[in-house]
Amino acid sequence: MSQKNPQQILEATIDSAVKKTGYSVKQLILLGLMAGFFIAIAGAGANMGAYRFLSEPLTNGIGKMVSGVIFPAGLMMVVFAGAELFTGNNLMLAAVLDRKISAGAMLKNWVIVYLANLIGSMVVAWMVAYSGLLGTGDGMLTDVTISIASSKMALPFGQAFVRGILCNFLVCIAVWMGNGADSTVGKIFSLFFPIWLFVTAGFEHSVANMFFIPAGIFAGGAQVGITWSGFFVNNLIPVTLGNILGGSVFVSGIYYLALKKK
């Protein structure tokens, strides 16, 4: 079997969306929890591996690059182990445009998976904080965790929204290319490089932030103004809206319009 061409990738993406709408609510919740676990654990590993570089302004870019090497493991676990990730599921728009699924079925999937991702990510954030691992580096990891959460919450709405667009453009490109790979190694490379790129560039991923910001709160960030209301209003809402636009319209929608034969 050879690498799929773009038209074949589109058909595989549409077929995948159809299968996703066949899942029960129970399946979506459980698989959504798993994706939240996977992404949050990848976030914890990324922070642990790069906190020394992230703690200094002059090495912050190197820190993001190191984080980016580790973080793709999250999406790899989602794809290979099997899980439902909200941002990747934004590709389902192609199946709606092709009239293979309804908009209502797509939105049902998005809402259930999004909430399950949120719960799963926050559970891991609490566990990481409770475990004492944030005390690594004489408390430096705690400081970096709080700093990351604070900087994400401080973004103006427009900036968070645009960074969300750019992020999920790359996440969905990774899933798109992975759908075209015919081997495990090919899928790994397809998933790795776009995710490494988005982390290094500093873009905003809603599900990842479901770990990063709660972890900052659990680490003691409330003392410096990191709040639950701020998490949802200042970051999660604009980033989520940007993720939807970047993945569904700029990847799924554009490729459908470009490649689908009428």
Question: What does the pLDDT look like over 142-179, one tens digit per residue?
Answer: 999 999 999 999 999 999 999 999 999 999 999 999 99
Domains defined for the chain, CATH in brackets: 6-259 (1.20.1080.10)
Q: CA-to-CA distance for 69 and 46, rounded, in angstroms?
A: 8
Q: Whole-model pTM?
A: 0.97
For CA atoms 208, 70, 215, 112, the dihedral sign is positive
As a whole-number percent, the residues of the chain with pLDDT over 90 amount to 96
**Whether the predicted pLDDT of 1 surpasses 60:** no
**Whether the predicted pLDDT of 94 surpasses 60:** yes
- For residue 222, what pLDDT is reported? 86
Cβ-proximal residues to 33 (8 Å cutoff; 6+ apart), any chain: 116, 117, 119, 120
